[in-house]
Chains A and B, each alone.
Chain A
Amino acid sequence: MAGELNLCRERLEGALPRKVEEISGQNPYACYQCGKCSAGCLFADHMDVLPNQVIRLVQLGDEGVAAFRAPWVCAACLACAVRCPRGVDIGKVMEALRVLALRRGLTPAPLNLGERYPQIALVGAFRKFTP
């Protein structure tokens, strides 16, 4: 995470939290950072920032959140969503970050299509990783 954090009104009332809320239907400020989502996340081992930290960055309006790998490692399994004591569907916040990146032309590493996959895997991967 960023070493230095500049907290200012413009950022907190800036575009990112509003945009995420618009796409996800979730209020990022409902989160009180208990960390339950990260504790139960099966994919946290492979993330560069934890799910609760992702929410925190969104709360702080940090556009740098787009550069992190975490949303692309999230498998949308919704374990966090059913456990959040504040009712935040973190899976939807992760999706909002993926969607925002894809709509801005930022794409994750290209998919390895050399292997034979069942339709169900390909359809899912295309929907999550391509605009």
Chain B
Amino acid sequence: MKKENTVTVFLMGKAYRVPAGLTIMKAMEYAGYRLVRGVGCRGGYCGACATVYRLPGDYRLYADLACQTTVQDGMYIAQLPFTPATRAPYRLEELAPQGETLLALYPELARCVACNTCTKACPQKLEVMDAVQQALRGDIAQVAELTFDCVSCGLCTMRCPAEIMHYHVWQLARRLHGAYQAPRSGHLADRVGQIRQGAFHGELDRLMAMGKDELAQAYKARDIEP
């Protein structure tokens, strides 16, 4: 490979020359890493491949997903595939969708100093600090809205000086919102009713009766939403 088509990156402190244009995840595999943790969907949804890096001549510590970020020359990279965070024990059906619920289960929310480090660390570009502040003042719907695209990568939680365990709080807020506050979806209830009444049994029986080749054929020919 021509030299101009490669970049040098530092993985866990060791230099590797890798093709330009690879994602961090692919660069690691190119360099010989076999990823069994810290890798998942490879599509930016599962949040398993949290990574941090610095670039030459830049004081910032960047945080991103390894599967979504292209390597740059001189990148210093480390993986943070998991951030320890304990989920508060609760049963959703015993909770009330009240503002104080979040604070009662996660009182450390009150330690936020509004430094905004969480927002800067978010690979999904969420307004994380605003969500903490909404959680503190008890607006569950706002928290659910602001964190809808959270992939639970844990980067904000790792960087937080107040030791808040963001992704568990967000999950609780979304669950409370979904269970108690969001409007019920009429067509979902209709569809569940159809399933219960056996509207799709025939289709399933037809699939069950297929052989392996026929099933593969049907899979390839399936309708895919654009």
Contact = CB atoms under 8 A, between A and B. Distances in A.
Interface of A: 113, 116, 119, 122-123, 125-127, 130
B110 interface: yes
A126 B137 contact: no
A119 B111 contact: no
Chain B facing A: main interface SS: helix
B162 to A, nearest CB: 8
A119 B103 contact: yes
B108 interface: yes
A119 B110 contact: yes
B108 A116 contact: no
A121 to B, nearest CB: 9
Contacts of A119: 103, 110, 136-138
Contacts of B107: 113, 122, 126
Contact of A126 (B104, B111, B138): B111
Nearest to B163: A130
A119 B109 CA distance: 9
Contacts of A113: 107
Max chain B C-beta neighbours (<10 A), residue from A113, A116, A119, A130: A119
B110 A122 contact: yes
A122 B136 CA distance: 10
Contacts of B103: 119, 122
B100 interface: yes
A99 to B, nearest CB: 14
19 contacts: A113-B107, A116-B100, A116-B104, A119-B103, A119-B110, A119-B136, A119-B137, A122-B103, A122-B107, A122-B110, A123-B110, A123-B111, A123-B136, A125-B110, A126-B107, A126-B108, A126-B110, A126-B111, A127-B111
Contacts of A116: 100, 104
A125 B110 CA distance: 9
B137 to A, nearest CB: 7
Max chain A C-beta neighbours (<10 A), residue from B104, B107, B110, B138: B110
Max chain A C-beta neighbours (<10 A), residue from B107, B108, B136, B138: B107
A116 B100 CA distance: 8
A114 to B, nearest CB: 9
